[in-house]
């Protein structure tokens, strides 16, 4: 990739020489990666390759782990997220996250979606809040299923519905980016299809980065794919995640440049 | 003919396999280890309940004359001599007053301080050697004998700041017991907070909540039943403690004034408390006081049980809210 393109303002994220450590453990080495707006970027790779770690760097979720340390930079719209003056809470309001296991709050469906707008002070009065909740649930393709029981507990929803509720909760604060950490791994195939369809609709409004263990899923839905792998150093017995190859999804799956990528996407190495 | 693992078997072989499987999955003898363990557990449980039943029967039977004869005047009566017993003016009112004020001090001091400490240690404090050291010491403090807290109270509150506490008063006793249960409140609250699922907190941070908002709206409501149980059980403990009160000067004999239970003017006055009053009467050689002591024990038991019942009800209420 030429440097000029990298410096263009068109990028949502631009990671440069990103390294992540958990205490002594070097989890991720020298990642350089660009995320373009209104695209779905998929991170694939075997377990322990650092793809979730990288995802959690994009909204400074790793800050919550006391021993995590990040070097290098991630520019979000031209601002380094790891600059001392940047407020992680503000970052997370703009860069939403959906987690591997659906994690609705033990509150009503309405209160789950209204949680973010309430704490961020987006909507103080009830009509405005009602509107945000409805729009968010509609965007998450859940409104018609739950419109008659918004006051019911979110814990009574099915797994797939819970995950769509979590998506609605994330988009209720009107973020620019949605980070999704294996959002379908706890769901059945039908619920998975629904979430995938949803992501396709959402990418018109949001930039989506998704970690997935399912290569077919990456191939089906993403525009760009990044393949990560684990470098095992036998001398020191350490394992470090690295970015092997990043490019258009079609290329990664049909004509990968690196043999390791090819082995992985063809299922010869897991 | 039968088919097993894709192979066609003749009748003889298939009958043999069936017989072998049947004998293999049939129960071989009795599971005596499991049965013995089960019986042992049951015996222990029955034994515990039996001891409790004997205790309750004992005190109720001993205190029967008062409990059925003149309970209302016993509840309103004061410390006194055998004459007071005969005139039915003897009673636990002053003990109830002392225990009430001790409970107030525990609730107002150790609950907020203890829960706040637990929140700080669990949610804010960096996990390093220093915070580990503090946590270890809180655990040690929970194991310190209550008499030692009595000495501490004597030194700190009775002799240290008599201008504030008034010396050997209900205020000193309340402060001492508040300190006594503080470690228990901290530990149980910490454990309740630790049980809050990390995914819940992540979900909250994920939509841009601050740490305070996450603690306030996710961690605390989820941990509320556990915190509540711990705090109210520690309250029961404080109400039942006698040893430290003796050291900070609770009175077993006569008390001059007799204000109503909730009158705060008695805070800087000489005081007694239910466990002290019971101890005093038990030590009295006259048999009438045994009846009085037994009746007082029943009164104390009822109050502690009421407190526990309130705990269970509130816990149930919060848990239902958590699942709703």
- Give the distance between the most distant pair of CA atoms in chain A: 63
- Would you state the pLDDT for residue A1? 43
Residue A217 has pLDDT above 60, yes or no: yes
Predicted confidence band of residue B11 (pLDDT cuts 50, 70, 90):
confident
Contact state of B203 with A173 under an 8 Å Cβ cutoff: no
Domains in chain B: boundaries: 1-29, 31-62, 83-323
| A104 close to B (CB below 8 A) | yes
- The sign of the dihedral angle between the CA atoms of B259, B264, B268, B273 is positive
Residue A246 has pLDDT above 90, yes or no: yes
Which of A100-104, A119-123, B126-130 has the highest average model confidence (pLDDT)?
A100-104
| A155 close to B (CB below 8 A) | yes
Option in B206, B210, B217 nearest A97 (CB): B206
Structure tokens at A106: 């033990």
Structure tokens at B51: 């001891």
- Would you state the pLDDT for residue A40? 94
- Out of A142-146, A202-206, A232-236, which region has the weakest mean confidence (pLDDT)? A232-236
Contact state of A92 with B322 under an 8 Å Cβ cutoff: no
Shortest distance, CA A266 to any CA of chain B (angstroms) = 32
- The sign of the dihedral angle between the CA atoms of B98, B103, B104, B106 is positive
Q: Which residue has the higher pLDDT, B192 or B22?
A: B192
Domains in chain A: boundaries: 3-265
φ, ψ at A19 (rounded to 5°): -125, 140
Predicted confidence band of residue B91 (pLDDT cuts 50, 70, 90):
confident
Kindly state the percentage of chain A with pLDDT values over 90.
55
Residue B55 has pLDDT above 50, yes or no: yes
Predicted confidence band of residue B93 (pLDDT cuts 50, 70, 90):
confident
Residue A226 has pLDDT above 70, yes or no: yes
Contact state of B202 with A172 under an 8 Å Cβ cutoff: no
Homologous superfamily of A3-265:
P-loop containing nucleotide triphosphate hydrolases (3.40.50.300)
- Would you state the pLDDT for residue B195? 94
| B231 close to A (CB below 8 A) | no
Residue of B nearest to A154 (CA): B324
Specify whether the backbone of A30 is left (phi greater than 0), alpha (psi in -120 to 50) or beta: left
- Out of B133-142, B263-272, B300-309, which region has the weakest mean confidence (pLDDT)? B263-272
Question: How is domain B83-323 classified at the architecture level of CATH?
Answer: Orthogonal Bundle (1.10)
Q: What is the mean pLDDT of chain B?
A: 86
| Planar angle of CA B254, B256, B261, nearest 5 degrees | 95
Measured CA to CA, the distance from residue B197 to residue A101 in angstroms comes to 12
Mean pLDDT value across residues A255-267? 87
Q: Evaluate whether A34 touches A209 at the Cβ level (below 8 Å).
A: no
- Would you state the pLDDT for residue B324? 57
- Would you state the pLDDT for residue B26? 83
Residue B77 has pLDDT above 60, yes or no: yes
- Would you state the pLDDT for residue B268? 67
């Amino acid at each position: 990739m030429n440097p000029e393109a990298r410096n263009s303002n068109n990028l949502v994220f631009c990671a440069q020489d990103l390294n992540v450590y958990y205490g002594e453990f070097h989890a991720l080495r020298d990642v350089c990666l660009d995320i373009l707006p209104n695209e779905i970027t998929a991170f694939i790779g075997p377990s322990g390759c650092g793809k979730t770690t990288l995802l959690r760097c994009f909204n400074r979720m790793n800050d919550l782990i006391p021993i995590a340390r990040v070097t290098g930079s991630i520019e979000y719209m031209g601002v380094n997220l790891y600059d001392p003056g940047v407020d992680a809470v503000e970052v997370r309001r703009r860069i939403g996250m959906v987690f591997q296991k659906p994690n609705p709050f033990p509150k009503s469906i309405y209160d789950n979606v209204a949680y973010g707008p309430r704490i961020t002070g987006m909507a103080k009065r009830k009509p405005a809040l009602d509107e945000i909740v409805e729009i968010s649930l509609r965007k998450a393709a859940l409104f018609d299923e739950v419109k008659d029981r918004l006051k019911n507990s979110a814990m009574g929803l099915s797994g797939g519905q819970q995950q769509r509720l979590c998506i609605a909760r994330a988009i209720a604060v009107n973020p620019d980016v949605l980070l999704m950490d294996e959002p379908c791994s706890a769901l059945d195939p039908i619920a998975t299809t629904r979430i995938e369809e949803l992501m396709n609709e959402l990418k018109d409004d949001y930039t989506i980065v998704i970690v997935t263990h399912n290569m077919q899923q990456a191939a089906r839905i993403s525009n760009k794919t990044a393949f990560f792998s684990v470098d095992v150093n036998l001398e020191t017995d350490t394992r470090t995640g690295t970015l092997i190859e990043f490019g258009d999804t079609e290329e990664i799956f049909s004509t990968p440049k690196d043999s390791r990528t090819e082995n992985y996407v063809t299922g010869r190495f897991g | 003919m039968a088919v097993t693992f894709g192979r066609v078997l003749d009748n003889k072989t298939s009958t043999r396999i069936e017989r072998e499987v049947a004998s293999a999955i049939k129960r071989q003898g009795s599971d005596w280890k499991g049965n013995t363990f089960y019986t042992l557990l049951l015996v222990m449980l029955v034994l515990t309940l039996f001891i409790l039943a004997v205790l309750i029967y004992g005190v109720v039977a001993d205190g029967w004359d008062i409990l059925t004869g003149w309970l209302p005047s016993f509840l309103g009566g004061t410390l006194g001599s055998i004459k007071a017993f005969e005139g039915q003016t003897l009673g636990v009112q002053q003990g109830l007053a002392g225990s009430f004020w001790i409970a107030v001090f525990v609730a107002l001091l150790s609950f907020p301080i203890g829960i706040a400490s637990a929140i700080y240690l669990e949610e804010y404090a960096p996990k390093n050697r220093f915070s580990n050291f503090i946590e270890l010491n809180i655990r040690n403090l929970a194991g310190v004998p209550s008499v030692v807290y009595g000495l501490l109270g004597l030194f700190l509150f009775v002799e240290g700041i008599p201008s504030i506490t008034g010396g050997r008063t209900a205020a000193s006793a309340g402060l001492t017991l508040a300190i006594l249960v503080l470690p228990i409140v901290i530990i149980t609250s910490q454990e309740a907070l630790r049980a809050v699922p990390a995914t819940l907190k992540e979900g909250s941070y994920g939509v841009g909540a601050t740490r305070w908002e996450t603690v306030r709206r996710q961690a605390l409501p989820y941990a509320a039943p556990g915190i509540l149980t711990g705090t109210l059980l520690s309250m029961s403990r404080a109400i039942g403690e006698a040893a430290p009160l003796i050291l900070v000067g609770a009175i077993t004999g006569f008390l001059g004034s007799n204000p109503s239970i909730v009158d705060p003017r008695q805070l800087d006055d000489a005081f007694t408390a239910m466990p002290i009053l019971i101890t005093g009467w038990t030590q009295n050689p006259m048999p009438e006081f045994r009846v009085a002591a037994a009746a007082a024990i029943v009164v104390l038991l009822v109050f502690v049980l009421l407190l526990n019942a309130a705990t269970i009800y509130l816990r149930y209420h919060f848990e239902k809210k958590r699942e709703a």
